[in-house]
Amino acid sequence: MKLSHSLLVLGMLPFVKSQAIEVAPGDFEPLPAGANALLLYYQHADRSDLYQNGHKVSDDSRLSSDIGILRYVHAIGLSENLSWEPQILLPFGQLNASGDIGALGDTRGIGDPVITAPLKWTLPTANKDIFGLAPYLYFPVGSYDKNDALNLGENRWRATLQASYIHHFSPKWALDTVADATWASANNDYGSSGAKLEENTRYEYQAAVRYNWTPSTTFAVGGGYITGSATTLNGVDQHDGVSTSYGRFTVTHFIEPTLQIQAQIGTDIEVEQGFKESARLNLRLLKVF
C-alpha cells in the first residue's frame, strides 16, 4: 500500500512545486514609476491527506515544504496610466516526506528561476480600477536529479499567462480577481528510467476582497480554484488531473512608508487528486527604494 501511495505522489510533485508563486491581494497595484522593490518570501505548507479520484487513499502521506523566494522588481512608467514592471524570482527551499511516503526522503536546493514583466493599466473609472497582464517564464536550471524522488527543479520549461482586474469600490474596499493558464514542456528525463513526462495546461482562478483598515494596514479574504495538469508518462495517461479549491486570509502592514510586511494563512477546501494542504503560512517582506 505504501508503495502505491509513493507512485501516486511522484506524479503530483510538479504540481506541488508549481504553486510556490501565488498572487497575493494587491500584487497588481502598480508601483510608482522608477521605483525598485526587493521582496523576500517564506512559504510553509503541511500535507498528510492524499486523494485519488476524489477519494482519500491515505491520511499519513506527509509532505512538508519550506520555500523561500527572493524577488526583484523595477517599475517603468510607459505612460501616465501604464506601468511595466520587469522582475526576476529566485526560489529555494526544501521538501520532506514522511509517514506512508517516507521512502521518498527529502531534498533541498534551488528551484527554477522565473522572469516576468507585468503590464498594469490604471483605468479611467471612478476609483481608478487596474487591469494587469503578466507573462511568466520558468527556466529549467533548478536542482534536479532523475534518480531522486524529490526535486526542487522540474527539468522542463514552464510558461504562464496571467490576467488581473482590480475593482476599487471605494478608497477602502477592493476586489482582486486573477486568472491564468500555465503550459509546460516535456521532461524527457523523468525518474530513474529517464521516462518522458508531459503535462496538460493548468488553469487557476483567484479572487480576494480587500479592506484598507488604515492607510498602513489591509485585510483580505479570498480563495481560488485550480484545474487541469493531467500528465502522461511515455504516452500513457496517468489519470491525475487536479481539481482543487482553497481559502486564504491575508494581513498586510507598512512598518514605514517603504517597508511592508505581509502574513497569509490558508488551507485547501476540496481536493480531487493529490495532496490536500492542511495548513499554509506565507510570509513576505517588501522594501521599496
In the structure grid, which three cell numbers stand for residue 37, read together? Answer: 522593490
What confidence score (pLDDT) does residue 10 get?
A: 58
CB 288 within 8 A of CB 258: yes
% residues pLDDT > 90 (the chain): 88
- C-alpha 100, offset from chain centre: 26
CB 279 within 8 A of CB 45: yes
Q: Is 1 a residue whose pLDDT tops 50? A: no
Copy the grid coordinates of residue 130.
487596474
Residue 50: predicted pLDDT? 92
Domain boundaries, the chain: 2-288
Residue showing cell 493548468: 202
| Domain 2-288: CATH architecture, name and number where available | Beta Barrel (2.40)
Per the listing, cell 506541488 goes with 16
Q: Which of 247, 249, 254, 187 is nearest to 216 (CA)?
A: 254
Summarize the confidence of residues 153-180 as an average pLDDT.
97
HEC profile of the chain: CHHHHHHHHHHHHHHHHHCCCCCCCCCCCCCCCCCEEEEEEEEEEEEEEEEECCEEEECCEEEEEEEEEEEEEECEEEECCEEECCEEEEEEEEEEEEECCHHHCEEEEECCCEEECCEEEECCCCCCCEEEEEEEEECCCCCCCCCCCCCCCCCCCEEEEEEEEEEECCCCEEEEEEEEEEEECCEEEECCCCEEEEECCEEEEEEEEEEECCCCEEEEEEEEEEEECCEEECCEECCCCEEEEEEEEEEEEEEECCEEEEEEEEEEEEECCEEEEEEEEEEEEEEEC
68: pLDDT strictly greater than 60:
yes
Taking 70 as the threshold, does the pLDDT of residue 18 lie above it?
no
- Check residue 79 and give its pLDDT: 97
Confidence of residue 222 (pLDDT cuts 50, 70, 90): very high
CB atoms within 10 A of CB 224: 21
What's the pLDDT tens digit per position in 117-144? 999 999 999 999 999 999 999 999 999 9
Tell me, rounded to whole angstroms, the distance of Cα 183 from its chain centroid.
14
> Which amino acid, residue 282?
N
Rounded to an integer, the average pLDDT of 47-72 is 93
Name the average pLDDT for the chain.
93
The share of the chain scoring above pLDDT 70, in percent, equals: 93
pLDDT digits (tens, 9 = 90+) for 176-212: 999 999 999 999 999 889 999 999 999 999 999 999 9
Q: How far apart are CA 22 and CA 221, in angstroms?
A: 15
Report pLDDT for 22.
73
Per-residue pLDDT, 19: 53
Q: How confident is the model at residue 3 (pLDDT cuts 50, 70, 90)?
A: very low
Length of the chain: 289
